[in-house]
Amino acid sequence: MRVVVVGAGITGLTTALGILDDRPGAQVVVLEAGDRDGGKILTAPFAGHPVDCAADAFLARVPDAIALCDRLGLADELVTPAQRTAYLFSRGTLHRFPPGLVLGVPTDLDALARSGVVSAEGVARAALDLTMGPDQWVAGADGTGTDETRTDETVGDLVRRRLGDEVYEVLVGPLLSGVNAGNADHLSLAAGAPQFAAAIRDHGSLIAGARAQLAASAANAPDAPVFYGLVGGMGRLVDALRQAIDDAGGEIRHRTPVERIAAVPAGGFTVTTRATDPDRPATTVAADAVVVTTPLYVTAPLVAPLAPEVADAMAQVEYASPVMITLAVPKAAVDHPLDASGFLVAGREGLVLTACSWASSKWAHLDSPATAILRASAGRHHDDRPGAMDDDRLVATVLDDLATTMGLHGPPDAVRVTRWPRSLPQFRAGHLDRVAEWRAALSAVAPGLLVAGAGCEGLGLPACVRQGRAAAKMVVDLQF
């Protein structure tokens, strides 16, 4: 079996390792346009520590990433945040998130009222969800519904209808919008919050359903962590994946952008790469199967000769371009206690800052007596103010926002700006149905050509690992 994997992000690397694990002796080559592995996972030295430039953790309740860490011998290196609470900046001040939230849906209305995060009117409006009865349209567990004309809706539509505008804008919106630097008013329910669909289907109420989900989670694992990280940063996972692929006989070629994928009439494919320098001339690689794991705007032109309508649809998926500003600051220069993992910013506050992780409070291995490490995020879909600023202006603006939100004063000791252009896909209603259609169309015209990755079935490490493992199984199950 000869397999080409296009893209050395987490999905691509997991796909390659899965094939090598399940089909010993397979010839697997990963073609990566850039000069490093990991895609949107990157760890680099900062203020004397390895500090992540993007994601620094993954959800613990989803088993896929944990299973991968176990396979790679990293299970003993997993750590949990030292702080399990967070704040929200809303109405001009920081409020600690009330207990009992499920993706922002409140399960304890009394605690919500005491928190001051939303007004008394907002709490009363949310409580109507418990008495208003089930929706006429009942969502399925995957976001599909019984009404054939309405197979998916947006998170904003559902939550505003059930809980009101204030709870959506102050709690659910910031939490879910922060995941993909987008706007949950436009986020597919099926792709972005299937738990909400299950709550409505099973209980006819978001609050009642969230209470049941929280109770079930507590009963199964009352002290279970919410997130896991790695002491050396998420780059440790990338390093371990690379080593495991090498040990299993796979190959990763950097600075090797794919220019064309062609189906061979007798079966299989040829994958043609573009020359990037004298050490990386153009090549053609023969393959029985090809798995493309790149962003959809990169995938689209590769599949266009085989399935132009699929390529056109892929190219329409929009992406956000967030920026991570990492700061080392004296702890004495922060007025607010650093007694949480950080804070989110409600979109209606109008700041460039969207969130700030207090990394040295969140992770014990990053803590030091005098210095705090902050990871500030900026940029949302359709809010590209950070993209229009140079680094100096952006840092100055974010420092002003940090002064407003958490009382930071004085200059930082160190600064790092990491830009992620077109990195976070925006899932519109019906996205998962469209992905299924793309895959079916590709299978019909080019059996053995698969697409996967964050733009297909979800962001976050577990979702990408799950897709990589699924793609590997599909390849191994192909009959040649």
> 378: domain CATH number?
3.90.660.20
Residues 378 and 449 in one domain: no
Q: Which of 398, 356, 363 is nearest to 86 (CA)?
A: 356
Burial (CB count <10 Å: 0-12, 13-18, 19+), residue 60: middle
Burial (CB count <10 Å: 0-12, 13-18, 19+), residue 279: exposed
Residues 313 and 446 in one domain: yes
228 occurs within a structural domain: no
Residues 204 and 240 in one domain: no
Burial (CB count <10 Å: 0-12, 13-18, 19+), residue 427: buried
Beta bridge partners of 46: 49
Domain count, the chain: 3
Distances from the Cα of 425 to the Cα of 104, 182, 208, 248, 463, angstroms: 21, 9, 31, 32, 13
Q: Which domain holds residue 51?
A: 44-84+319-425
CATH number at residue 19: 3.50.50.60
| Alpha-carbon dihedral angle through residues 223, 226, 230, 233, given to the nearest 10 degrees | -160
Helix ranges, 42-183 (H)? 63-71, 109-115, 120-127, 155-163, 165-167, 173-180
406 occurs within a structural domain: yes
Q: How many whole angstroms separate alpha carbon 43 and alpha carbon 240?
A: 13
Residues 78 and 167 in one domain: no
DSSP structural state of residue 105: E
Q: How many whole angstroms separate alpha carbon 314 and alpha carbon 299?
A: 8
Q: How many whole angstroms separate alpha carbon 193 and alpha carbon 230?
A: 26
Q: How many whole angstroms separate alpha carbon 264 and alpha carbon 98?
A: 58
> Residue 420's pLDDT is what?
96
Residues 209 and 163 in one domain: yes
229 occurs within a structural domain: no
90 occurs within a structural domain: no
55 occurs within a structural domain: yes
114 occurs within a structural domain: yes
Other beta carbons within 10 Å of 390: 8
Residues 124 and 263 in one domain: no
Residues 289 and 435 in one domain: yes
Distances from the Cα of 409 to the Cα of 6, 96, 372, 396, 404, angstroms: 46, 22, 13, 12, 10
Question: Each residue of 411-423: b (16+ CB within 10 Å) or e?
Answer: ebeebbbebbeeb
Q: Which of 196, 249, 225, 181 is nearest to 21 (CA)?
A: 249
> Residue 148's pLDDT is what?
40
> Residue 348's pLDDT is what?
79
42 backbone dihedrals φ, ψ, rounded to 5°: -150, 130
Q: How many whole angstroms separate alpha carbon 445 and alpha carbon 306?
A: 7
Residues 183 and 273 in one domain: no
393 backbone dihedrals φ, ψ, rounded to 5°: -70, -40
Looking from the CA of 270 toward its CB, the CA atoms found within 13 Å total 8
> Residue 428's pLDDT is what?
95
As given in the structure block, the two tokens for residue 241 are: 């994946």
Q: Which of 137, 115, 136 is nearest to 126 (CA)?
A: 115
SS3 of residue 102 by DSSP: strand
Q: How many whole angstroms separate alpha carbon 11 and alpha carbon 249?
A: 18
Signed CA dihedral, 160, 102, 153, 209: sign only: negative
Q: How many whole angstroms separate alpha carbon 190 and alpha carbon 429?
A: 8
Residues 332 and 463 in one domain: no
DSSP string, 69-88: HHHTT-GGGEE--S----EE
- pLDDT for 340-361, tens place per residue? 999 999 877 889 999 999 999 9
Q: Which of 187, 230, 177 is nearest to 66 (CA)?
A: 230
Q: How many whole angstroms separate alpha carbon 327 and alpha carbon 344?
A: 17
Residues 376 and 412 in one domain: yes
Q: Which residue has the tokens 């149905």?
A: 433
Q: How many whole angstroms separate alpha carbon 422 and alpha carbon 452?
A: 17
Positions of the chain with pLDDT lower than 50, given as ranges: 138-149
27 occurs within a structural domain: yes
Q: How many whole angstroms separate alpha carbon 322 and alpha carbon 376?
A: 10
Give yes or no for a contact between 46 and 374, defined as CB atoms under 8 angstroms apart. Answer: no
356 occurs within a structural domain: yes
Among the candidates 403, 425, 447, a domain finishes at 425
* 471 contacts: CB under 8 Å, gap ≥ 6: 11, 15, 18, 291, 293, 450, 452
> Residue 222's pLDDT is what?
65
Residues 74 and 181 in one domain: no
Beta bridge partners of 469: none
Q: Which of 97, 61, 106 is nearest to 205 (CA)?
A: 106
CATH number at residue 119: 1.10.3110.10
DSSP string, 237-281: HHHHHHHHHHHTT-EEESS--EEEEEE-TTSSEEEEE---BTTB-
Residues 314 and 257 in one domain: yes
